[in-house]
Structure 1
Amino acid sequence: MSIPETALVLFSGGQDSATCLAWALDRFDRVETIGFDYGQRHKIELECRATIRDELAAQFPQWRGKLGPDHLLDLSVVGAIGETAMTADTVITYAENGLPNTFVPGRNILMFTVAAALAYRRGARHLVGGMCETDYSGYPDCRDDTIKALQVALGLGMDKRFVLHTPLMWLDKAATWKLAETLGGVDLIELIRRESHSCYLGDRTHLHPWGHGCGTCPACQLRSRGWEAYRADPPDLATTP
């Protein structure tokens, strides 16, 4: 049975957030989405969002009536603060602190804060994000401790009870593919494979077995390895935390 409440999903158009959107549609009576234009070099992901939403409604009638409006907001201030490999045409490498230069300081914190402000006005208390610290790029704002601290801070700062859901937090990429299969079968797998976007360079010209991308950036490599592991030995989610 669905939870009779509204959830707001941070939906970028990537594999993880598309899986989280399906996860939310499977659990809540009403689901809205929010996306952000922060000057990302892979802005093509924003175009993928509409296609995925439309196809979810068309291919999965059980979710069609649950899918509410989409909200696309301008967060160009993120890029204005300082350049990273996600917001400028620079070589992807690692900084002195060990973090990849694709890390955008404060991005997820700001996105969740803005999403909570919108949720406050939309009467939603459930926020869903695709953050993960099991199989990720080392971003500190993807850690479980960060999300838990944000939930407390947002609740106190707005005097409203928010619940921040991160269904992928303890899943690797192979298990994320398997979760999508569990939620929507091969149709959902194919939709995410073909229409979602993860490549940091914004490459949509090459369709690999795992989806579109350059095939060489960290996001493509992570997605590729996860796909290969999923296809070789689909994990048993019954034993996954």
Structure 2
Amino acid sequence: MNPVVVSYQDSLLRRSDVALLEGPLWLNDQVIGFAFEYFSSERFADLKESVTFISPEVTQFIKCASCPEELALFLEPLGLSSRRWVFLAVNDNSNQTAGGTHWSLLLYHRGSNHFAHYDSQSGGNAAHARRVAHKLEAFLCGGGAAPLEEEQCPSQQNSYDCGMYVICVAEALCERVRAEGGPRLPGNTITPAYVTQKRAEWCRLVQSLAFH
């Protein structure tokens, strides 16, 4: 038995997903997708007109899609052309199925027409981020090229917290959008201890939303 623990907007978390969050374990698509859904619907709902979060499953589809027409049909409803910032969680899996061993965060800035890549394993996902960015150029930049910059990112100190770093970095960037009107990663705040604390906070949030 693997019962549903939380049903939130378009996200479902089963018992096995919640166990990953309780960890310390590597997070899967469902947990990161839930966090992005929560950011969009609740935590940063006031930024909905300018910020969008793409679920890990959709990002993987974008990366692996071979047909531009199919991709166009898929992305059209997301209204990406009207968003100032687009957040995507990038996985190092090379095929359409869920899996992989590492997560990183890709952010598109419309104002400066460039992608920023935040990788807690210093560039380990660079090739995968570039594949996603290249596929999105036609939909975000009117077909023109958008450079990708590897950004300074806090480093994970273990093999399993990459997904938590994606969630924490995305949250910190959105907080700066709200406070300053643009995403800028604050220095020295996302430490290993902070990430561990945030994991516990997400566990408590899931418990508060769980079916009773």
Normalising by structure 1, we get a TM-score of 0.29
Q: Which has the higher contact order (CA 8 A, sep 6+)?
A: 1
